[in-house]
Chain A
Amino acid sequence: MKVEQISIFIENKSGRLAEITRILGESTINIRALSLADTSDFGILRLIVNDGKTAAAVLKEQGFTVSMTEVVAVEVPDRPGGLSAILQTLDRELINVEYMYAFVERCGGNAVIIFRFDETDKAIAALTEENFNMLEGSRLYNM
Chain B
Amino acid sequence: MFFNEEFETLPRPALDALQLKRLQAVLGKVYANVPFYRASFDAAGITPAVVKNLDDLQKLPFTTKQNMRDSYPYSLFAAPMEEIVRIHASSGTTGKPTVVGYTQSDIAIWSELMARSFVAAGAHKGDIIHNAYGYGLFTGGLGAHYGAERLGASVIPISGGNTKRQIMIMQDFGSTVLTCTPSYSLFMAEEARAEGIDIKSLKLRVGIFGAEPWSEEMRTEIESKLNLTAIDIYGLSEIMGPGVAIECIEAKHGLHIWEDHFIPEIINPETGERLPEGERGELVITTITKQGIPLIRYRTRDITSLSYEPCICGRTHARIARMSGRSDDMLIIRGVNVFPSQIEAVLVGIEGVEPHYLLIVDRQGTLDTLTVQVEVSEHLFSDEIKVLQALSRRIEKEIKDMLGVTCTAKLVEPKTIQRSEGKATRVIDNRKR
Contacts and interface: CB of A to CB of B under 8 A. Distances in A.
Contact of A98 (B376, B384, B388, B414): B384
B382 A37 contact: no
A63 B411 CA distance: 15
Contact of B381 (A46, A63, A67, A116): A67
28 contacts: A7-B381, A7-B383, A9-B376, A9-B388, A9-B411, A9-B413, A11-B416, A39-B385, A39-B388, A41-B392, A41-B410, A42-B376, A42-B388, A42-B412, A44-B383, A44-B385, A46-B383, A63-B413, A63-B414, A65-B376, A65-B378, A65-B381, A65-B414, A66-B378, A67-B378, A67-B383, A99-B384, A116-B383
Contacts of B377: 65
Contacts of B382: 67
Interface of A: 5, 7, 9-11, 37, 39, 41-42, 44, 46, 63-67, 69, 98-99, 116
B21 interface: no
Nearest to A43: B385
Interface string B375-404: 011100111110011001000000000000
Nearest to A65: B381
Contacts of A42: 376, 388, 411-412
A95 to B, nearest CB: 15
User: Chain A binding site: helix, strand, loop or mixed by DSSP?
Assistant: strand
Interface residues of B, number: 18
Contacts of B65: none
Contacts of B414: 63-65
A44 B411 CA distance: 12
A137 B137 CA distance: 60
Contacts of A46: 383
B19 to A, nearest CB: 53
B413 A65 contact: yes
A63 B190 CA distance: 12
Nearest to B392: A41
B415 interface: yes
A80 B416 CA distance: 47
Closest 9 CB pairs of A and B: A7-B383, A65-B381, A69-B383, A9-B376, A63-B415, A37-B385, A11-B413, A65-B376, A67-B381
Interface in B391-433: 392, 410-416
Contacts of A11: 411-413, 416
A46 B381 CA distance: 13
A94 B309 CA distance: 63
Given A64-B413, A65-B414, A9 B384 contact: no
Given A44-B388, A63-B413, A66-B381, 10 more contacts: A5-B383, A9-B411, A9-B413, A42-B411, A65-B377, A65-B378, A65-B414, A66-B378, A67-B378, A116-B384
B18 to A, nearest CB: 55
Contacts of B378: 65-67
Contacts of B376: 9, 42, 65
Contacts of A37: 385
Contacts of B416: 11
Contacts of A98: 384
A129 B215 CA distance: 56
Interface-centre pick from A9, A41, A44 (highest chain B CB count, 10 A): A9
